[in-house]
Amino acid sequence: MKTSESREQALEAFRAAVREDMARTCCRKARVAITLRHHIHPDGYELAFNFMRICAEETGGTLDVRGVWLEGAEGELWLPKALEHARDLGGAALAVPSSRCSSLAAPEKHRMTTATPYTPPADITTAAESALAKASPYELGRATVLYSVYCGVTGGRSAVTGAELPPFEKCPVLVRAAWLAVAQAINTPVTSVAPPSQPSPMLVQKPSPGRMVLYCLGDEGGTRKGEVRPAVVVALRAPDPMAPNLQVLGDGPNDDFTAADGHGGEHVWRGTVPFGGPDKPGTWFWPPRV
């Protein structure tokens, strides 16, 4: 337990840090929220509600009836632990709001309530189940990886509720289908999804003669259909700049492209090849960065 003097020193030091943040950046509340997080976790839970009171005072923010700074603390991963700590102390850790806070939130507006369970329409659930059933093992594996990356960023908890997140295979159908859709769209050129009224947020890399790409073998691969081979962009003749003509390089005697108009089984020409991915036969994609 901190002494009265050390508590006051810690609070004054925190207030000074908040004021410094307010003077240094235009995104003041966002910056102060980061400072708050660093002061509370892992050793500052005892003063969490005093810190939040200071944040509300200095930023003109709002404390709800629990003493939570709504603009910067709601949804933070540390908040459930701070609330639990306050309950363990019988509410002693809760800050007494100062007159400098803009307001106390009305109880009926900000009291924590249990959300009504969402029941998705039957057609959405059916579509999600169908998408999962049709997905390839590669797509499902990629969806699992992307979901795991998200969990790694949030500490394995929901960024909205703070609840612990389950393994991918235990997630609801809609959640798994949504991550599957992300996995399937990961190689989509940005220009194809950017709103037409807005500029593309980044330049899309386009193929050009001489560039090396990867090609997922189609019917010309025979029993090796679906395997990936390097290819050279030889021309761009189609209206779509993402549909080049390719010379696909074979794996020596292991690939026999002769039946597919190849050259001694060494390579085969393919025209107007669409952009796709490693799980879409007959398409090309960029080599992954290593």
Asked if the model's pLDDT at residue 103 lies above 50, the reply is: no
Q: How far is CA 75 from CA 141, 161, 254, 271, in A?
A: 29, 6, 56, 52
What's the CA gap between 290 and 278, in Å, rounded?
16
- What φ, ψ does residue 164 adopt, rounded to 5°? -65, 135
**Mean local confidence (pLDDT), 266-275:** 90
Q: Is residue 167 left, alpha or beta, with left meaning phi > 0 and alpha meaning psi from -120 to 50? A: beta
pTM for the complete prediction?
A: 0.35
3-state helix, strand, coil in the chain (%, to 5): 45, 10, 45
The encoded tokens of residue 58 equal: 């200095």
pLDDT digits (tens, 9 = 90+) for 153-172: 888 888 777 778 888 988 88
Task: Tell me: pLDDT of 281 over 80.
Answer: yes
Exposed, middle or buried by CB within 10 Å (0-12, 13-18, 19+), for 217? buried
CA–CA separation, 90 vs 53, rounded Å?
18
Pairing of strands 103-104, 62-63: parallel
Q: What pLDDT digit, counting tens, does each position of 248-270 carry? A: 998 877 887 765 555 556 788 99
Count of CB atoms within 10 A of residue 91's CB? 11
